[in-house]
Structures are given as structure tokens and as C-alpha cells.
Amino acid sequence: MTMLASIVHVMCALLLAPALPGVITRVKAWFAGRRGPPLLQAYYDLWKLLHKGAVYSKTTTWVFVAGPIVGLACAMTALLIVPMGGTAGVLSFSGDFLLLAYLLGLMRFFTILAALDTGSSFEGMGASREAFYSALAEPALLLGLVAMTAQSHSLSISGMVAAVTPVAIASPAGPALLLVAAALLIVFLAENARIPVDDPNTHLELTMIHEVMVLDHSGPDFAMIQYAATLKLWVLGALLVGILVPVRSGWWGVDLGAGIGGMVALAAVVGVIESTIARLRLVRVPQFLVAASVLSILALVLVMR
Amino acid sequence: MVWFLTALALLLLGGVLSLVLSRSRKTASLVGAISASAGGAVVLLQSFDVLISGQSQSLRLAWSVPFGSANMAVDPLSAVFAVVIALVTMLAAVYGTEYLRTHADKKNLGVSWFFFNLLTASMLMVVAARNGVLFLISWELMSLASFFLVTQEDEKETVRRAGWIYLVAMHVGTAFLLVLFLLLGKDSGTLDFDRLSTAAAPSWVFFVLAVVGFGTKAGFIPMHVWLPEAHPAAPSHVSAVMSGVMIKTGIYGLLRMLTLFGSLPAWWGWTFVGIGVVSGVMGVLYALAQHDLKRLLAYHSVENIGIIALGLGVGVLGISYKSSAMAALGLTGCLLHVINHALFKSLLFLGAGSVLHATGTGELDRLGGLLKRMPITGATFLVGSAAISGLPPLNGFVSEFLICLGAMIGLSGQVSLTASPLMGVLVVGGLALIGGLAAACFTKALGVVFLGEPRSGDVAEAHEVGRAMRWPMIVLAGLCVLIGLTAPLWPVVLQPAVAAIVPQQSSIAAEAARPLTGVVVGSCILLGLVVVLVQVRRQLLVRRRVEQAVTWDCGYTAPAPRMQYTASSFARPLVLLFRLFLQPRDDIDRPQGLFPKHAVLHTHAPDLFRRYVYEPLFAAIVWTTSKLRWLQEGRIQIYVLYIALTIFVLFIWKLR
């Protein structure tokens, strides 16, 4: 039964992930007093891109083609590991969180290489920043998970998240979990190229990070990148929702529904964040990311106290 | 042991023969490489036999040297190192036949092969020696043989300087080992390993001597300064051997020393963890700031030795906190990373050698676009880069996974320790930071060297290297993938070697295999998805228009290769963030006037330990000794007087 729930979660994620950016843009439009694009805009975009041809730069090699493919494969594999609240991941074992973190690392590795493969200095700049920020975000993510291990005594990410029950939140370890959630929120925003680290809607290549790296991709390749980005949003979001929506009723349908509701709420919160705060100056971003690591370590101290 | 001795004889015979036949460059190369491969193959077979059967083999010969007998043995711990030594030297020898052909014009190749084989034989002797005198002789032979290999291009000032630094560093390290062995043999009067005693001094004395002595060879920070000098100076196949396996003999020495102690204090483990985090993070930071491909790789050896030290630290902490699971996971990770690093680092050095061979430069900012011109070198370098960054599904991930898991066992409630949170933060946080920075560094190296457009004319005309240089790289890349995909097997294979240090741990290997099975399942799913997506993409594009164009450049019409992002600019944000540790210096010649003609910017990140620790230290030694110069009068009568006085003083001291 639990395996069925896990599979249902993966299916839901594969189908619903592109709706999350729609929710974010709708909320932002509402704040700005606009109507905004339809909720399903991302699906239309994907559909359109999948039916287009492609243009490749003469400079590029097979690495440029491999970038989106490996990226999407990594995001899908990561989706198999991540739990949604009490619903365990399809693939769950001791130390699976390391595989999850390093799969995201592999995805980034290939995205950066594909960007450098074009020989464009804009894309090189984006690649440099991506490598820079992710080197600081990775310790924050893993330290947050170390703190969760200490709280749950589980070495598997499914076990860690399942241990976050209303009882646990009310216990003395509760504040520590909230600190972990704060750290993971920072990682979530940084890794998914959202404000205040990166602005997906800026129109200047010089100021973008993630979007500038994929300037040269087109057609199905670009569709894969966009889809992989929404899956990554789902993967890291599911971790956050796992802590912040501790619905553990025992009926998997209810738990999963609450989790998916949580994802939509999280997307709305991202919309609010993007509407209310400005992007950080590039030199301030490292401090923001190091703060996430510090929050994680603080959480660990609180748990072990 | 017969086979082991046969292999040594083959290596030495081949070396001497190559020296004798050095009149013909081709024969010398052939004899050298064939004997190195044959010797390596024999050692490989025998070591596998020892590892699989778990039975050690030993040999004890009487000799007239004091302090025991010529005692040798291959136990599983030695076998692990012997496998790595044999494998990497075999492949490097094959590579060397072609590499040396063009890279050592007018050099006597017989000499080069003689020292190569001597280096291989002495490394094997180091791991097999069970007597202090034999060990130290082999150790010294290893240092000297590699010194002559490093200084092969001795017409260059930088190479001579690098060789000098290397020679001094090795002998300072050996001095500590000499004292270590003298103390170990003091009580029993013999230096046979099975009768060494640690009673002669407090255990911390042994520990400090071993960490400094073996750590100098391994390249722990701050004893690493010789590494970034010597490795780039050596011919590339020798750099691969030195960086891939020779520095690991330092780790072997430490592990062997640990077996002499009944109980290990926790602070030893913490020292290793500290050394590991510092070496790992500083090594990768220095690597990021480098502009030369081989120097960058040399600093990455410091980083990886740091990761190995982290594993060692987790293992020692496990032993001292009596958690055999933690100890086994840490030490298995440590040993597996020794193997893994040997594979991917020698692969990367061979790749760097091919780049050097094809373009004549290792300067990152002059290279570019080589993947199109050298597809095999590029693809294998990519595998090596992903592996060294610790990414799945390759081997680097497996060993880092084991070390992390070992560090987190304490938090999972299986053993309750007050020290476990600190361990989790240091090891997991450290490895995450090291991994992220290594990925940044290798996307830089790979992107600037192999992707984009060539940044200088010579590079555009580069060709793929020949077969003898390609195959060793392909084999090493294949092994990186193979270990990644057969991960659950390795704790079982390494179990007898780990058992030499942690006795009671039979079921741990099986237990470690379970999470690794999960990793392999994940990796297989990943690879399967990649295959499926490649097909999907092909189907989608089959009836559509696929065009070629120039890279999108925001409407600018005349892009030139020199406008590409450079290695320095790629690493700049990280270098500036860690400027406290790196203290980068810029030499800038600003553009001046309304129509500036030229502008120059050089960025450097000099090694701080060299600048602030060793240069003042050696300056002080020179200053002190210069004050004693008045002793050197130059008149022979004075020296006779010195001798007479010395004998007189010795007599009095003896009579007292």
C-alpha cells in the first residue's frame, strides 16, 4: 500500500510540477494588479517547444546536447527518492539523501558544462555564478539534513521527513525543525533560481544566472530544461512541505492530498516573496547562503541539547 | 611471495636492460614498458589472490644488516595498495612509450625507464616490507627514483627548482620516520614489524612523528608545498604515478602504524578529521585559483588526500569510541577513496599530458575547444572530472558516500555519542563544501580546456593522441564507471584489509552493501532514463528542422574566441569570497588615454604556507648557518685540529 502511495506521488509530481510556476506567476500578477498568464501556461510552452525544431551553435559539441538530457534524468531520479510528507520515496535506503544531493549536483555539473560549451561569455558568466552559489548551497542542504537525522535517528530522507509529526513539532525539538525549514527555504530559493538570489524574469543577460545559462538551447532540449526545472522545484519543495505540513493521518490519500496542497501553498508563498522583496546584490548572496548553513548548524545544536 | 619477488626482479631487470639498450630510443622504451607491464601484471594477480583468499603471504630472509631480517609480506592491506600501484604503473608505462617519444628529445630514455621501473619496484617494496630498515631503504629509493624522474627536463630553471624543493621535503619527512623507527625498535632491539614495541615513548610522540613523516609524503596541509611544484614538473605519465599512487604510500604508512597500537585515543581521530577538512578545503581553493592544468590537478591531490584523511579520521574515531560500524565505514571509505583517487587522478593527469602533447601548453587561458579535436581525451577527461567531483554514478561518489555514512552513524541512534554532532558537521559539511568547490573547479577546467572555441592558434590545430596514449585513459575511465556500478561489492572486497585495523566487524561489510545497492539502483535508473531521453529527443527531432548557427551573442556581430569567459574570470567570485585564505594578487596594467593600446591583467594566488611558513623558516636556517661560516677557514691544519678535538671530546665523554 505504501509503495502504491509512493508511485502515486511520483505520478502526481510528474503531472503537476509544471503548474507550480503558473501559481507563482499568478500570485505575482495579483500583487502587481495584473491578470497574468493562465495557470497552465507552462504546459502550453512545453507542448509548443516539443513540437519545434532546434538550432545548434557551430561551437557546441555533444556535451551541449547531453546537458538537458542528463539534467532531466537527474531530476526524475531525484523525484524517486524524495518523500512527500509521510509518503516515503519510491527509492529509500540509508544515506539516500546523499544520492539526492549529488544527483542535483550532477544536474548542475552538466548544465554548467553545456553553458560553457557555447563559448558565449554571457553563458560563461552565468555558469560561473551558478558554480559559485551552488558550492555554498550544497553544505547548507546537507547540514540541514544532518540536523534532521539527529532529530529522527533515521539515515533515510523518507524516515527523516516521516518523523516530523505534530507531536515532534510541539516537542522541544520543534524550534530546531523550524530552523531547518528556514535553511531549506533559502536553499530552495537559491537552487531554483528565485528571488532574492536570481530573477527568472529579468530581461538582461548580465543579471541572470540560471536563465542565461540556457540561452542557446531551443526546441525539445529547452523543453527538457524547463520541465527539469519544475521537477527540481517540486523535489526541493517537497522536502520543505514535509516539515511545514506535518499531516500524518495514516490514510495515505489524505497525507498525499495535504502534501500536494502544501506544494501549491508553497508556490503561492514564493509568489509573495518575489512580489515583496527585491533581489539581493550579487555580493550579498554568499552571506545569505552561509546564513542557511549557520541555521542548519544551530538546528543541530538545538536538537542535541 | 615467489611471484612478488619475480615481479620485482622483472622490473629491475627491465630497468637495467633498458639502461643498457638506451642507444636505441625505441628499444629502450619497449623494454621498459614491457617489463613494467609484465611486473605489474604479476603483482596484480598475486594481490588479487591475497585479497580474495584473505591469506597473507610472507617471506623472511636472513641478511647481515642489523636490526632483524629481510622480512616481507603481502597481507590484504598491502595487497590493496599493491593492486593500485601495479595497475596505475602498468597503464602509465604504456602511455609513456608514446608520450616520451616526443617529449624527451635528446634525452636518454633508458635512464627515464630505469628510474620508472625502480620507482615502481620501490613502491611495491614499501608496501611489502615488514622490517624497518628494509622499509626505510625502499622509502628512500622511492624518493630518489621519483626525484630523477621529476628533474627529467633539467634544462629548465623551474624544473630544477621543483626538484630541489621535492628533494628537501622528502628528506625532512624521512628524518621524522627515521626517529619514529628508532623509537619503535628501541625496546626489542629489532625493527621487524611483528616485534616493534610502542613502549619506548608516550604514544603521542609516535603519532606526531608518523603524521609529519608520512604526511609529508601524502601531502597533508601544511606539508604539501612540494606537491604543486613537483607534479607539474614531472613528465605526465610520471605525474600520474606520483599523484595517483606514490603519495598514497604515506597513507599506507599511517594505516600500518595504527595497527601497532592496541587502543587509539579519540584526539588522533579528531586530528585526522581536522587535517582532512583543512587539506580538502584549502586544496580545492588553491586549485580553483590556478591557471596551469597540471598545477590545478596537483592541488586537487591535496584535496583528495584530505578526503582520505577524513575517512581515516572517521575510522579512528570509530575505533576509539568502540563503534565498529563507524570504524569499518570510515576505513572502507578511506581505502576505497585511495583506489578511486588513484584511478581518476591518474586518468586526469594522463589527459592533461595528452593536452600538453597535442598543444604544447597547459596554460588554461590559451586552450579551448579541444573536445572536437580530441574526442577520446575529452570524453575520458569528462568522466574523470565528474568522478573527482564525487558525482554519481561514478566511483568518487561511492567512497564519499561511505565516509559520510560513517560520520552519521553516531547521529542515527545506533551508538550514542556526545561528539557525533561535531563529527557530522565537520565531515558531512566539509565533504559537501569540498564537493561543491571541486565541481566548480572541474567545470572550469573542463569548460575552458575542452569546450568553447580555441583561444590560441596552436590549439586550433591540435590532433587526437595516438593509440598507446588513448587506451590507458579509456581503461581508467572504464574502471571509474565500473566501480561506481559495482559499489556493493567493494566493502566486501576490502573487508579483510579493514580487518587488519578493526578486528571485530564481520557483518558490517554486508550491512554497508545494502545502502550501496540502493545507490546502484538509483544510478541504473539514472542511466536508463538517459538512454530513454536520448531516444525521445531523437524521435522528436526526426522530422523537424535542425539548424546550425553561431552562438547567440545578444546581437553582437563579430564574436572572437578571446571574448570567451576565461578560467580566471570563472573562478574569480569564489577566489574573492575566500580571499582571506588565498590572498590573490593582481598585476594590472590599466588602459590609459582616449585610445588605449594595450592593457594587461595577471592574477596570482601564491601558496601562503610557502610564503609565510617555509620561506621564513628556511631563511632563518640560512641565517643561522651563515653565522657559523667562520668555522670554514679553508686551511687544512684547522680541519685536522677539528678532528683531533672531536676525538678528544668523545674520549672524555666515554671515560666519564
Contacts of B484 in chain A (CB under 8 A): none
Query: Is the pLDDT assigned to residue B506 strictly greater than 80?
Result: no
DSSP state of B561: G
Instruction: Specify the number of domains making up chain B.
Output: 2
Percent of chain B predicted with pLDDT > 70: 98
Domain that holds residue B359: 270-536+567-606
Does residue B176 sit within a domain?
no
Cis peptide leading into residue B222 (ω within 30°): yes
Together in a domain, B352 and B380: yes
> Would the pLDDT of B624 be above 80?
yes
* pLDDT band with cut points at 50, 70 and 90 for residue A102: very high
Query: Within 13 Å and on the Cβ side, how many CA atoms surround A17?
Result: 24
* Interface touch A91/B554, C-beta < 8 Å: no
pLDDT of residue A1: 61
Cα–Cα nearest to A75, from A187, A194, A238: A238
How many angstroms separate the CA of residue B528 from the nearest CA in chain A? 9
Could you say which of A52, A58, A146 has the minimum Cβ distance to residue B428? Answer: A146
Mutation choice for A interface testing from B565, B568, B576, B578 by most A CBs within 10 A? B565
Q: Inspect the interface and report whether the beta carbons of A91 and B522 lie closer than 8 Å.
A: yes
Choose the mutation target among A6, A10, A46, A77 for the interface with B, i.e. most B CBs under 10 Å: A77
Say yes or no for a CB contact (<8 Å) between B443 and A127.
Answer: yes
When pLDDT is averaged across residues B407-423 and rounded to a whole number, the result is 79
In chain B, what residues touch A163 (CB-CB under 8 Å)? Answer: none
Q: Chain A residue closest to B554 (CA)?
A: A205
Other Cβ atoms closer than 10 A to B507? 11
Report the percentage of chain A scoring pLDDT > 90: 74
Q: Please answer yes or no on whether A300 and B436 come within 8 Å at the CB atom.
A: no
Nearest alpha carbon to residue B566 among B448, B392, B421, B476: B448
Chain A residues in contact with B546 (beta carbon < 8 A): 53-56
Chain B residue with minimum CA distance to A103: B392
Distances (CA, A) of B77 to A223, A301, B497: 51, 38, 4
No. of helices (H) and no. of strands (E), chain B: 27, 5
pLDDT of B114 reads 94
Candidate from A51, A81, A125 with C-beta closest to B565: A125
Question: Are B449 and B364 within one domain?
Answer: yes
Examine the pLDDT at B504 and tell me if it is beyond 80: no
Cell numbers linked to B7: 615481479
Residues B497 and B634 in one domain: no
The distance of A37 to chain B (nearest Cα, Å) reads: 26
pLDDT given for residue B468 in this prediction = 92
The answer to whether position B197 is within a domain reads no
Pairing of strands B70-74, B546-549: unpaired
Domain shared by B488 and B613, yes or no: no
**pLDDT given for residue B458 in this prediction:** 81
Grid coordinates standing for B438? 571541486
Strands B546-549, A54-57: parallel, antiparallel or unpaired by DSSP?
Answer: parallel
Residues of B in contact with A93 (CB under 8 A): 514-515, 517-519
Average pLDDT over residues A39-65: 94
In single-letter form, the type of residue at position B431 comes to: L
**Could you tell me if residue B122 is inside a domain?**
no
Is omega for the bond preceding A139 within 30 degrees of 0, making it cis?
no
**3-class state of residue B600 by DSSP:** strand
Same domain, B505 and B576: yes
Same domain as B613, residue B599: no
CB contact at 8 A, A113 and B447: yes
Q: Nearest residue on chain A to B573, judged by CA atoms?
A: A132
Tell me: the pLDDT tens digits for A103-160? 999 999 999 999 999 988 889 999 999 999 999 999 999 999 999 998 888 999 999 9
d(C-alpha A136, C-alpha B417), whole Å: 28
* Same domain? B489 vs B635: no
Distance from CA of A270 to the nearest CA of B (A): 26
Closest CA to A219 of A54, A58, A41, A67: A54
Q: State mean pLDDT over A274-292.
A: 91
Closest partner residue to A138 (CB to CB) among B435, B527, B529 is: B435
| Residues B414 and B492 placed together within one structural domain of the fold | yes
Residue A12: enclosing H or E segment and its boundaries? helix A2-16
Least confident of A162-166, A198-202, B10-14, B162-166: A198-202
Q: Where are the beta strands (DSSP E) in chain A?
A: 54-57
Summarised one tens digit per residue, pLDDT across range B333-361 is 999 999 999 999 999 999 999 999 999 88
The reply to whether residue A119 touches residue B452, judged by beta carbons under 8 angstroms, is yes
Q: Quick one: closest CA in B to A138, which residue?
A: B432
Residue B588 CA to residue B65 CA, distance in Å, equals: 61
Residue at B296 is within a domain: yes
Q: Average pLDDT for residues B209-231, to the nearest whole number?
A: 93
| Together in a domain, B571 and B620 | no
Residue B392 lies in a domain: yes
Query: If you ran DSSP here, which 8-state letter would residue B413 be given?
Result: T
Confidence of residue B630 (pLDDT cuts 50, 70, 90): confident
Q: Which residues of A touch B543 (CB under 8 A)?
A: none
Residue of B nearest to A67 (CA): B530
Domain identity same for B613 and B530: no
- Chain B residue numbers with beta carbons less than 8 Å from the beta carbon of A132 are 440, 573-574, 577
Among B83, B96, B88, which residue's Cα sits nearest to residue B33?
Answer: B96
Contact criterion met (CB below 8 Å) for B123 and B92 = no
Using 50, 70 and 90 to split pLDDT, how confident is the model at B115? very high
Q: What is the pLDDT of residue B505?
A: 62
Among the partner-chain residues B409, B411, B549, the one whose CB lies closest to the CB of A55 is B549
Query: pLDDT grade, residue B557 (50/70/90)?
Result: low
Cβ distance B519 to A99 less than 8 Å, yes or no, reads yes
Quick check: is B478 in a domain? yes
- Cis ω before B375 (30° cut-off from 0): no
CB–CB of A300 and B392 under 8 A? no
CA-to-CA separations, B326 to A112, B15, B278, B426, B512, in angstroms, rounded:
36, 44, 22, 15, 11
Output the pLDDT for position B370. Answer: 93
Chain-chain contact of A77 with B382 (C-beta, under 8 angstroms): no
**Structure confidence at residue B261 (pLDDT):** 86
When CB atoms are compared, the residue of A55, A106, A141 closest to B392 is: A106
Q: Give the span between the Cα atoms of B616 and B610, in whole angstroms.
A: 9
Average pLDDT for residues B192-220, to the nearest whole number? 91
Per-residue confidence (pLDDT) for residue B421, from 0 to 100: 85
A54 bridge partner residues: B546
Model confidence at B416: pLDDT above 70: no
Per-residue pLDDT, B415: 67
Q: Can you tell me the distance from the alpha carbon of B542 to that of B269, in angstroms, rounded to the nearest whole number? A: 59
More confident residue, A171 or B442: B442
State mean pLDDT over B583-612: 87
Q: Is the pLDDT of residue B489 over 70?
A: yes
Report the gap between the CA of B552 and the closest CA in chain A (Å): 6
How many angstroms away from the CA of A23 is the closest CA of chain B? Answer: 28
**Residue for cell digits 590549439?**
B459
Q: Nearest-CA residue of chain B relative to A287? A: B577
Q: How far is residue B245's CA from residue B119's CA, in Å, rounded to a whole number?
A: 11
Mean of the per-residue pLDDT values of chain B:
91
The answer to whether A78 and A232 are in contact (CB under 8 A) is: yes
Percent of chain B with pLDDT over 90: 65
- Interhelix angle B76-103/B489-499, nearest 10 degrees: 110
pLDDT at A203 > cutoff 70: no
Closest chain A C-alpha to B532 CA, distance in angstroms? 9
Set of cell numbers at residue B432: 559537501
Q: Which residue has the higher pLDDT, B517 or B61?
A: B517
Contact B547 A54 (CB under 8 A): yes
A149 and B411 in contact by Cβ < 8 A? yes
Which of B570, B572, B575, B579 is the best residue to mutate to test the A interface, defined by the most A CB atoms within 10 Å of its own CB? Answer: B570
Residue pair B403/B334 in contact (Cβ under 8 Å)? The answer is: yes
Kindly state whether residues B591 and B614 are assigned to the same domain: no
Q: Select the residue of A141, A146, A221 nearest B408 (Cβ to Cβ).
A: A146
Q: ipTM for the complex?
A: 0.96
**Nearest CA among A213, A207, A79 for reference residue B525:** A79
On whether both B337 and B382 belong to a single domain, the answer is: yes
